[in-house]
Amino acid sequence: MGDCMRYIFLISRFASFVIDYLFLYLFTTLLAKFNTMGYILSLILFFLYRYLTTAFYGATLGMKILKLRLKSFDKRICLKREIYRFASSFFYIGYLYALIDGNGRTFHDILSDTAVVIKDGEIKKDEKEKYVKIVAVILLIISTTKWTADFILNDIGFIGLKKKYISDLYFQSFEGDKLISLSQDELYMKTLGRKYTAVVDIDNKPSLIRISNKLKYSEVYKLNLRDSKIVGEYIYKIDLPIQYLCSGVFKETRDMCGISLRVT
């Protein structure tokens, strides 16, 4: 494969990848009303889409549009290829490997003993393949373990729950960046009693108040619910690093009950 054809091939692979991912976007959009369960179903549908199209036709819709196909394919090869995508998806290392592979193959291509070609392209023998497979298997184990853990912790646990509000705001205490270097006991003592969010009554109406600790001062925000989003409204600044915000009743504009652990 000449340099020009190689560039065309790699660009075509990337373009087909993007086209196919539009199906995942379509599935997640259509199933969004089912929340977490809808997201899980969209992943299953996307897996079946890629598996069935390659197993029966040797190419997904995106691949067909770009005149690409698998050099060899059957149900077993294509099932392995989809499962082995975990090896390629670890920080996209396996996908990027196609840039240096002589045949433009990804890790999941190599592990499933096939390749993507243009029309009837030929595959050159690669002496490094056995070493690449070892690396790919290691990444497959790591990536599968990581994805499974994330999936269980971040997705399975939310089945049955409905998202009511989202927020683009992020409140960070500067001191929080240092907590990762603390021991378990130090971390416990350092964070004991912290409470940065509380529900308080303002004008006889429950309101969500958030303080953002900046070490030498604290900013106070009122979190307003607008449609399906949480919007932060800056109220004022306090010249103390407030560590604990109390629930209570605000009778005046600047009323607030809080605790500062600052030692002077």
pLDDT (0 to 100) of residue 179: 46
User: Looking at residue 112, what DSSP letter applies?
Assistant: T
**DSSP H stretches of helix in 169-259:** 184-191
pLDDT above 70 coverage of the chain, percent: 86
The per-residue pLDDT for range 109-146, each reduced to its tens digit, is 999 999 999 877 778 888 888 999 999 999 999 999 98
Q: What is the C-alpha to C-alpha distance for residues 107 and 86, in angstroms, rounded to an integer?
A: 9
- CA dihedral defined by 230, 157, 139, 52, rounded to 10 degrees? -100
Report whether 202 contacts 220 (CB < 8 A).
no
* Beta bridge partner(s), residue 244: 195, 259
Check the CA dihedral 133-138-141-147 and report its sign: negative
* 254, pLDDT greater than 90: no
Q: What is the C-alpha to C-alpha distance for residues 71 and 54, in angstroms, rounded to an integer?
A: 11
The per-residue pLDDT for range 161-202, each reduced to its tens digit, is 777 777 766 555 545 444 455 565 665 666 666 788 888 888
CA proximity to 107, closest of 99, 97, 121:
97
**Kind and range of the H or E element at 35?**
helix 35-57
CA 245 to chain centre: 32
pLDDT (0 to 100) of residue 108: 96
* 97, pLDDT greater than 80: yes
* 209, pLDDT greater than 70: yes
Report whether 108 contacts 98 (CB < 8 A).
no
Strands (E), the chain: 68-70, 116-118, 166-167, 197-202, 205-213, 218-226, 229-238, 242-245, 249-250, 258-260
Global confidence as pTM: 0.65
User: What mean pLDDT is predicted for residues 235-256?
Assistant: 80
- Label residue 2 by pLDDT band (50, 70, 90): low
Report whether 156 contacts 37 (CB < 8 A).
no
